[in-house]
Amino acid sequence: MASKCLSPVPILPVLSRSSRTSLQCLRKRPMQALSHAAAQPQRRHVSVYGYEQAKALSFANYGDPPEVLFLHKHSISPPHGELMTLRFLASPINPADINQIQGVYPSKPTFTTSLGTAHPIAVAGNEGVAEIIALGDKVKNEGFKRGDWVIMKGPGFGTWRTHASATSKDVLLLEDAAREGITPIQAGTVSINPCTAYRMLSDFVKLEEGEWFIQNGANSGVGRAAIQLAKNWGLKSVNVIRGREDKDEEEELKKGLLDIGADVVITDEELQSQGIKDMAEEWTNGGREPIRLALNCVNGKPATAMAKLLAPHSHHVTYGAMSKQPLTIPASMLIFKDIHFHGFWVSKWAEWHPQEKKKTVEHVLELTRRGEFKDMPFEELEWEYETKEKDLVQAVQGTLEGYRKGKGVFVFKKT
Ligand SMILES: NC(=O)c1ccc[n+]([C@@H]2O[C@H](COP(=O)([O-])OP(=O)(O)OC[C@H]3O[C@@H](n4cnc5c(N)ncnc54)[C@H](OP(=O)(O)O)[C@@H]3O)[C@@H](O)[C@H]2O)c1
């Protein structure tokens, strides 16, 4: 397939990669993703006194989403002082959102009666982008204005809702320049998966151009982001996916990841096969280009098998547990190979490094604008004011089942 260098000027990653001087261009390929939701003005349900009619997918108790989620309707009074009213544009359904509803995620949502219920409820969802539709004087003085786009500063705000009342402490402003040419879905999905991939590639070991990393869950949002960032920075990747019963589908999936910049794509079965060491030698020029970083969101055998391919003194970062299996580490890897095992949680990182989060988000959006960071495949779940509770809950459930074609994202239309 034809290659085309899209960007003559490298955009350097923030923090540890500032010394890079050259980048490998990405091949321009047909987009993997579905259509973008353009930012379009929407009719709003506003009462005569300026009260905003809002709907929120909420839960009062922890449990499985279909059992505990309900659509709560309430109104939001006109904002004053330090308050702003947000209208959501796009909010993804991430695995952590589900874990949070189930009560098994370390960051807990805020249960409150402030939305007009007798008993405390929490609004589901942690990531998203919203537009400021009204704001009090104090927020104006802080530099916000109507029409600004904001993303959530941290987890637990509740983003699966049409509208919300917030303060500047809850949100991060996307400056006009950062948002230019960016769709709501791109802005609404930038702060968790791409940031996670970005930080894990940057902060544990300084990989030099031409060096390798290996990852499982390569078809996930984080995995796809890691492939593209690595390619942009001149790094090489071995990518492990779950095999498919349908081999044509598996080949298509492999090709899709190669198209966005993966160097090698294998299934977890291939990773655990006998010949894997020889294969790895072949990819890495007889081992002269060491694999020095592993990114793991699966655990179980695929995580241990990846660790076995690492060069001595390498780093192995765990950031998820999709297989629900424990991580098992042979002692020899610590004693004789000095492999360093780490964990990473983007929520904690963002809390500790708010300015770096802003820079990381802006950098990914810049790469997106320049065509060097493609969207992951999405399934747009349209949310109108009239959309029924059962359809929204069904959409959440649907994203949990089987081998999905793309990440579910609520795209708010006429709300
Ligand atoms: N620590 C952090 O800061 C952080 C931040 C973001 C995400 N995460 C974690 O990273 C992981 C990926 O999140 P995401 O939002 O990028 O995911 P996503 O886009 O929603 O995709 C989910 C991925 O998980 C894979 N998967 C599902 N069940 C699996 C199983 N039983 N065994 C192996 N793989 C399985 C899927 O594989 P197929 O492609 O084969 O369907 C898919 O690639 C999750 O565990 C999430 O909690 C952690």
pLDDT of residue 398: 81
CA 133 / ligand 1 centre spacing (Å): 34
Instruction: Give yes or no: residues 100 and 124 share one domain.
Output: yes
Structure tokens, 15: 């923090």
Which tens digit of pLDDT belongs to each residue from 373-405? Answer: 999 999 999 999 999 999 999 999 887 776 878
Query: Has 385 been annotated as catalytic?
Result: no
- Confidence band, pLDDT 50/70/90 cuts, at residue 47: low
Residue 27 has pLDDT above 90, yes or no: no
In a domain, 36, yes or no: no
Share of the chain above pLDDT 70, in %: 88
Residues 6+ apart with CB under 8 A from 412: 42, 87, 88, 89, 90, 91, 162, 383
**Total number of domains in the chain:** 2
Average pLDDT over residues 204-221: 96
Strand order of the β-sheet with 122-123 is: 70-76, 52-59, 122-123
Average pLDDT over residues 13-29: 34
Instruction: Give yes or no: residues 154 and 299 share one domain.
Output: no
In a domain, 21, yes or no: no
User: Comparing 398 with 409, which gets the higher pLDDT?
Assistant: 409
In a domain, 40, yes or no: no
Domain boundary among 348, 366, 395: 348
Instruction: Give yes or no: residues 168 and 241 share one domain.
Output: no
* Neighbouring C-beta atoms of residue 318, cutoff 10 Å: 19
Q: Where are the alpha helices (DSSP H) in 106-211?
A: 137-141, 176-179, 184-188, 193-203
CA 323 / ligand 1 centre spacing (Å): 9
DSSP, res 153? S
pLDDT of residue 25: 28
pLDDT of residue 43: 52
Q: Which atom of ligand 1 is nearest to the CA of 193?
A: 6
Which tens digit of pLDDT belongs to each residue from 157-183? Answer: 999 999 999 999 999 999 999 999 999
**Closest by Cα among 20, 135, 133, 150 to 81:** 135
CA 185 / ligand 1 centre spacing (Å): 19
In a domain, 74, yes or no: yes
Instruction: Give yes or no: residues 343 and 197 share one domain.
Output: yes
Structure tokens, 393: 């809950």
Q: Which residue's alpha carbon is nearest to atom 32 within ligand 1?
A: 323
Question: Taking all residues of the chain, what is their mean pLDDT, rounded to a whole number?
Answer: 89
Average pLDDT over residues 236-245: 97
User: Comparing 4 with 212, which gets the higher pLDDT?
Assistant: 212
The CATH number of residue 88's host domain is 3.90.180.10
In a domain, 1, yes or no: no
Residue 3 has pLDDT above 50, yes or no: no
- Confidence band, pLDDT 50/70/90 cuts, at residue 406: confident
Share of the chain above pLDDT 90, in %: 84
- Mutation probe of ligand 1 site: the residue of 32, 227, 242, 379 with most atoms within 8 A of C-beta: 242
Count of residues in the chain: 415
- Confidence band, pLDDT 50/70/90 cuts, at residue 44: low
Instruction: Give yes or no: residues 101 and 161 share one domain.
Output: yes
Q: Does residue 219 line the site of ligand 1, with CB under 6 A?
A: yes
Instruction: Give yes or no: residues 128 and 98 share one domain.
Output: yes
Residue 155's domain spans which residues? 52-189+376-412
CA 297 / ligand 1 centre spacing (Å): 6
pLDDT of residue 403: 81
In a domain, 64, yes or no: yes
Q: Which atom of ligand 1 is nearest to the CA of 321?
A: 45
pLDDT of residue 50: 77
Q: Does residue 73 line the site of ligand 1, with CB under 6 A?
A: no
In a domain, 367, yes or no: no
Instruction: Give yes or no: residues 59 and 185 share one domain.
Output: yes
Instruction: Give yes or no: residues 179 and 207 share one domain.
Output: no
pLDDT of residue 16: 39
Instruction: Give yes or no: residues 267 and 177 share one domain.
Output: no
Rg over CA atoms, the chain: 22
pLDDT of residue 48: 59
- Confidence band, pLDDT 50/70/90 cuts, at residue 37: very low
Q: Which residue's alpha carbon is nearest to atom 2 within ligand 1?
A: 345
CA 99 / ligand 1 centre spacing (Å): 12
Q: Which atom of ligand 1 is nearest to the CA of 224?
A: 16
pLDDT of residue 399: 75
Which tens digit of pLDDT belongs to each residue from 324-374? Answer: 999 999 999 999 999 999 999 999 999 999 999 999 999 999 999 999 999
Which tens digit of pLDDT belongs to each residue from 86-103? Answer: 999 999 999 999 999 999
Distance CA 340, CA 295 (A): 12
**Closest by Cα among 49, 26, 101, 54 to 260:** 26
pLDDT of residue 49: 73
The CATH number of residue 212's host domain is 3.40.50.720
Q: Does residue 192 line the site of ligand 1, with CB under 6 A?
A: yes
User: Comparing 42 with 137, which gets the higher pLDDT?
Assistant: 137
pLDDT of residue 35: 34
Instruction: Give yes or no: residues 269 and 221 share one domain.
Output: yes
pLDDT of residue 405: 80
Instruction: Give yes or no: residues 255 and 279 share one domain.
Output: yes
In a domain, 401, yes or no: yes
Instruction: Give yes or no: residues 282 and 316 share one domain.
Output: yes
pLDDT of residue 129: 98
Residue 10 has pLDDT above 60, yes or no: no
Query: Which among 105, 198, 319, 385 is annotated as catalytic?
Result: 105
